[in-house]
Chains A and B, each alone.
Chain A
Amino acid sequence: MKLQNKIIYILLTAFLGYTLLFSGFIYYSISRFAFTDFYKRLEIRAIATAKIELEDQKDNNVVQQLRQDYLEPLTNEKHLILEDIDPDNVVEDVRLGKYNPSFLQQIIARGIANYSYKETFYYGTLYSTPDQKEHLIILSAENYFITHHIAYLRNLIFTSLAIAFLLIVLFTIMFSRKIIEPIQNIIKKTRKIGSENLHMRLEVPESNDSVRELAKTFNDMLNRLETSFETQKNFISNASHELNTPLTSIIGEADVTLSKVRKPVEYVESLNAILEEAEKLQKKTQALLLLAQTGFDGKRQKFGKVRMDQLILDVKETVEKIQTNCKLCLDFSLLPENPLLLKVLGNEQLLHLAVSNIVLNACKYSNGQPVNIALAVMDGEIIVIVKDSGIGIPEDEMEYIYDPYFRASNTKNHEGYGIGLPLARNIIRIHAGELRVNSVLNKGTTVEIRLPKGNFVL
């Protein structure tokens, strides 16, 4: 069954059940009230009649006057008075033949009884006059209210039920449409997203409800999908990009050393340099392998404690070795006193790779001007800010900066492959972080890395 129909049926049964119960209750209590009220009216008339017929003339005039003035005659009102009866055998009286025997017996037993037959209501009572004589009075009349008003009420309830039914149907259809609509939208949008346009995202609605959660969850899933897609696609280019730097220095070092015969000390020195670079190379291959693996299977990542301040110092060291003309300024002025707040759950090599890529970019495009790195902690988030005063990124090219191999139009004079930033973003995404880039052309670029704090205890 379609979800929309399901919602309609559930709402319909709930609302209709409620209205039926409600109107049934009203109908029942009104008719009950009409019965008791009518018997009371009969009772007053019975007593008044008895007073007029059986008691002294003196008071009678007053009562008769009262009855004529204030008690309107009921439809088909009839009364029967049996004077001075013997309670034991009055039931057999001929004049009482047309009444229900159990009604008569009840009058004798309790002194008061009533019953109704078709539309006529009967009320009977024993009345004793001051001279100790018992009299039986039976009053009967038709209940106009029951026959007419209750019928009107019944019709009214039925018509209002019919109207309510229509309204409820209309309302539930509209309601279910309104509820279903955002989900339908999500379905439509999700269908459009394929492997060729994985960068598309669903619109997250403003309202804070489950649909928003759903859209967010879809977007998160798309993020992960895109990341793993890209890491697979770009693995080779990433690898060659990353491995090139140490390889160049190894080749250069070896070339220079081999150009002429040298002293043993110099050989040791250059071999040491080569070893260091080779170790770096190994670390990078490991990191890239890890990155590739994360694309296939999230379980194989080895996550541990990473202290961000230490990481940034390491990055500074690495970057200064690669880009010797780069001035790096660290600003740790807003570091918290609690070192636990600086720890991120993550993979150190990957994070190192990401941050060093960003800092290297900043150095590369700032033409020797100082690059600032700041670290701060806010509300469970660790923020790394890398700010340069370099060439910036043209505004209309901002949306492409994460595309692999994309290079902004003003980077012609700089060597590069257009891989560093997408790689960094993939790594940050793996760590459930966020990367923000702000840039003004020819003035500089600010990159903000936000990483969630790991839940470590001392």
Chain B
Amino acid sequence: MTKTILIPTDFTVKSLNLAKIALQKNLSSQGKVRLILVHGFWMSTSISDLLFYSKKSLLDKLETADFRASCKLLLGKYEDKIDQMTIDLFSGRNQSSFENYLEAHNIDEVYISPSYKYKLKNSSSFDLNPFIAKSKVKQVEVNWELSANHEDTQDELSALFFTHGQIAH
């Protein structure tokens, strides 16, 4: 049976640690995993923007090279486990639209990290955590600490490694 997991992301390599932990935890269970990396993004209200709206080009703009490389790393490592890995934008404005989104995508679990603060690089981006907190879907809280005691300013490939406490609390 395929399990669908929703993971909020802000297109930083660090946020992919959630995906990594989710995959590690599901490694022993049977069946494949479908990952949906979702990012909250307000839709523009301008008609011309909506006319030329393309999710692909928008995602191209938001994703960084290191983020893409990290996704490929995860795909390479868990290629037998991952059924599908998609990156999606959520543009709803209220709780019910989020519930709708969860239902439409058959989400079984949502992984969140209370300690990780999302870095919203774009002014239209928004934090999905309040929606997730109020939703009825099963939530898995995980925490990880960077081994380095300082907060990294750069977002680089190494952010996906050297995390301790990979088991959820």
Contacts and interface: CB of A to CB of B under 8 A. Distances in A.
A382 to B, nearest CB: 11
Contacts of A383: 73, 157
Contacts of A334: 20, 73-74, 76-77, 160-161
A335 B158 contact: no
Interface stretch (A69-77, A88-96, A438-446): A438-446
A93 B147 CA distance: 122
A337 B77 CA distance: 7
A-side interface mostly: strand
Nearest to B66: A448
Contact of B77 (A336, A389, A448): A336
B153 A335 contact: no
A389 B157 contact: no
A377 B150 contact: no
A440 B153 contact: yes
A331 B161 contact: yes
A246 B160 CA distance: 36
Interface string A371-396: 01010111100010101010000000
Q: Which of A341, A370, A378, A438 has the largest number of chain B CB atoms within 10 A?
A: A378
A376 B160 CA distance: 10
B156 A333 contact: no
Contacts of B74: 334
Q: Which of A376, A379, A383, A448 has the largest number of chain B CB atoms within 10 A?
A: A376
A6 B74 CA distance: 53
Contacts of B77: 333-337, 376-377
Interface string A427-458: 00000000000101001101010000000000
Given A336-B77, A376-B73, A443 B150 contact: yes
How many chain B residues sit at the interface, stated as a range, is 20 to 34
Contact of A378 (B20, B72, B80, B150): B72
A374 B69 contact: no
A337 B72 CA distance: 14
Contacts of A438: 154, 156
Interface string A313-337: 0000000000000000101011111
B157 to A, nearest CB: 6
Interface in B129-169: 147-150, 153-154, 156-158, 160-162, 166
Interface string B7-44: 00000000000001000100000000000000000000
Interface string B73-97: 1101101100000000000000000
Contacts of B160: 334, 376
A378 B79 CA distance: 12
Q: Which of B147, B153, B160, B162 has the largest number of chain A CB atoms within 10 A?
A: B162
B71 to A, nearest CB: 9
Given A385-B157, A387-B162, A438-B154, A333 B73 contact: no
A372 B147 contact: yes
Q: Which of B148, B154, B161 has the largest number of chain A CB atoms within 10 A?
A: B161
Interface residues of A, number: 25
Interface in A119-171: none
A333 B158 contact: no
Contacts of B69: 378-379
Q: Which of B20, B80, B148, B149 has the largest number of chain A CB atoms within 10 A?
A: B148
Contacts of A374: 158, 161-162
Contacts of B24: 333
Given A385-B157, A448-B157, A372 B162 contact: yes
B73 to A, nearest CB: 5
A97 to B, nearest CB: 82
Nearest to A332: B161
A310 B153 CA distance: 32
A446 B76 contact: no
A383 B70 CA distance: 11
A104 to B, nearest CB: 77
For the complex of A and B, the 8 pairs showing the least CB-CB separation, nearest first, are A374-B161, A372-B162, A331-B161, A334-B77, A378-B72, A385-B158, A378-B73, A376-B73
Interface of A: 329, 331, 333-337, 341, 370, 372, 374, 376-379, 383, 385, 387, 389, 438, 440, 443-444, 446, 448
Interface of B: 20, 24, 69, 72-74, 76-77, 79-80, 147-150, 153-154, 156-158, 160-162, 166
19 contacts: A329-B162, A333-B161, A334-B73, A372-B162, A376-B76, A376-B77, A376-B161, A377-B73, A383-B73, A385-B157, A385-B158, A387-B148, A387-B158, A387-B162, A440-B154, A443-B148, A444-B148, A446-B156, A448-B156
